[in-house]
Chain A
């Protein structure tokens, strides 16, 4: 009885030997240290801010910004509030990111597939491109494109015309575009819609042909109709305006892509594509050799082997790392501020310089980029689910 009560009473030695105690103690200590550090930092922050006479708060976002912005998707005047200026920056970031993602995917996949080309020159070209671009800092490349390439284009008086459809000069690139923003949105929506419809029709047609062995004509006709409708909308419905060179230099009409935008986009696309090319290459390499050989034995030619057999299997390996490349592209788009492209980071620093509110500005910036990255992750996860093997 005495022995029993002794083992139940508090025994320090036994407790110190017990791993469960240490697990809990370690967590408590970690939490305490983190909390202490946080309270130290936040306390200092609070004292510093009070000393500078700026209590934490976001109400300053409603004050007039008072600076002008070079390019914007939405209406903006200098006496608009800060939050509207930040929206302009967000819009510019989005144009950069969306354009960047589309072009990066295209160039990266082409460069990745090219490293398997039978053509020796193309294969080496792809390898040299990746080895060169991956090892040079993005910011340096950005400066190079902006100052040394696009900055070296002739001035508007001697601008370069391309077939009378587009113009290049040191102020930017001029391309044909819909005459109003609404029509441009319509055109983009029609393109996306047609692509989705075509994808579904194609899958339906394949399914019918696999299950019945014949048929699919109706779907083929529907596909053609979709294509024709899209062509009609794009060519006739958008009321294209073509840029025209003006006597003595300059351009009217069309869409002007500023030199800052074009240089940022080019640098981002060339840099990120090199990483995408490596991902695509690794993905294709992960498909076992037997798949290539089996497909060739069935009589498919090299292009069809890649398109129908190897690439769809490689996608399983390619999609997950692509997510982080898209996120990198999004975050790297903030570098465009170094060449004065008014994206969100640039607007945020201007806001900070004018209001002297680093904490609030940092919170806004962090929230914006986290949201963008989260959006990309959600979309890519959906896409990833659709290309993975369906097991049972």
Chain B
């Protein structure tokens, strides 16, 4: 009915495809007066801010505090004679990371694509050029090489034995105990008191321990809250809601002060253990809610179908419901892990010398009085790097697991 005459077609102006920078700026920055005003104001404020920051960083700031204390930032008061153990730990982690990368990427056509090579090159350049890493950069470069070599090896092995994936997971699990042994000593190594655990090593250790402990607990709580059994449901709900209503500092305070009170007279677990327990008990409640959201998103029919096939409740949960629920919940779970990692900073309040705590004690040193901005900016970069890496990884996993079309 509505007909387009050839005439009207030809009279319509052709779309102008302008690709030059001027046209781009006109479209994206100065399309109308309000937009132009916004651009001018933002450029003004940003320019002023960046100028102030740059002039501060280059003239006023005294960055000496970072390289002078690099060892403290990384390992706290860990005896410097035993640093070889930390290096060994790093080597184990790098090797496993490379191996997992290779095994996961066994079906990719080229493992070392151009962007990956550029990334590795950037890391190496950073290690060589970044002043604080200077004395140890000779040991850091082989670590990068180790990752690459392990990745190549993992790819070969992964192609030959496709079932290697679970062994890699098992190796990660065992590496946790290797880490505990390397940091804490014992079994032939010189023991190191937990008072000397600190810095980035302690941050990562508490975060990983918290994650490892809170995951099974959170899973059980989520299943309990979704359970058809009233007693189990009530207990889980009460636990989750009570914990979620209390701030973490209060919980850590309880962990430090009240856990010894809850145990038989005279027993007093290590303070790092107490902190990790409090952290895990706290995070489990939040994790449970994330998993519960995933469980709720699995359609009812899945359960009914599994039941009608004759599976009992544990197998239905383990084989049908949980794999789907966890896949849905991955972004939220990783988000929870990121916030657990950030929450380890609160351990500095209860007196542990993790990354932020060691920063505080360095700032208390009269030689570095008032170097707040330098130290805190450095710490912020470290935390940002780890958290951003985790969120990036979660996005990758999400893409990989997304089987919907």
- A positions within 8 Å CB-CB of B: 23, 26-27, 30-31, 34, 41-42, 44-45, 47-49, 51, 117-122, 125, 131-132, 134-141, 143-144, 147-148, 151-152, 327, 331-332, 334-335, 337-338, 345, 348-349, 352, 358-359, 362, 365-366, 369-370, 373-374
Contact = CB atoms under 8 A, between A and B. Distances in A.
B80 interface: no
Given A30-B235, A137-B345, A365-B250, A148 B261 contact: no
A332 B345 CA distance: 13
Interface stretch (B28-36, B97-105, B158-166, B188-196): B28-36
Contacts of A131: 388
Nearest to A301: B32
A31 B263 CA distance: 21
Contact of A338 (B31, B231, B338, B349): B349
19 contacts: A27-B230, A44-B261, A44-B264, A118-B28, A119-B39, A119-B42, A122-B42, A137-B342, A137-B345, A139-B356, A144-B377, A148-B377, A331-B246, A332-B247, A337-B249, A345-B247, A358-B258, A359-B258, A366-B250
B253 interface: yes
A390 to B, nearest CB: 24
Given A138-B342, A359-B261, A362-B258, A143 B249 contact: no
Contact of A121 (B39, B363, B377, B384): B39
A135 B391 contact: yes
Contacts of B342: 136-138
Contacts of B262: 41-42, 44-45
Given A120-B28, A137-B383, A49 B35 contact: no
Contact of A136 (B242, B245, B383): B383
Interface string B289-330: 000000000000000000000000000000000000000000
Interface in B233-264: 235, 242, 244-250, 253-254, 257-258, 260-264
Main secondary structure of the interface of B (DSSP, over half): helix
A366 B376 contact: no
A54 to B, nearest CB: 11
Nearest to B230: A27
Given A119-B38, A143-B356, A147-B363, 14 more contacts: A30-B231, A48-B265, A120-B28, A131-B388, A137-B356, A139-B348, A140-B383, A152-B372, A338-B349, A358-B257, A358-B258, A365-B250, A366-B250, A370-B245
Nearest to B239: A34
Given A119-B38, A147-B376, A148-B376, A45 B261 contact: yes
B246 A370 contact: yes
B388 A362 contact: no
A370 to B, nearest CB: 4
Interface string B357-385: 00010010000000011001101100110
Nearest to B229: A27
A136 B28 contact: no
Given A44-B263, A121-B29, A34 B379 contact: no
B124 interface: no
A369 B247 contact: yes
A273 B315 CA distance: 43
B372 A369 contact: no
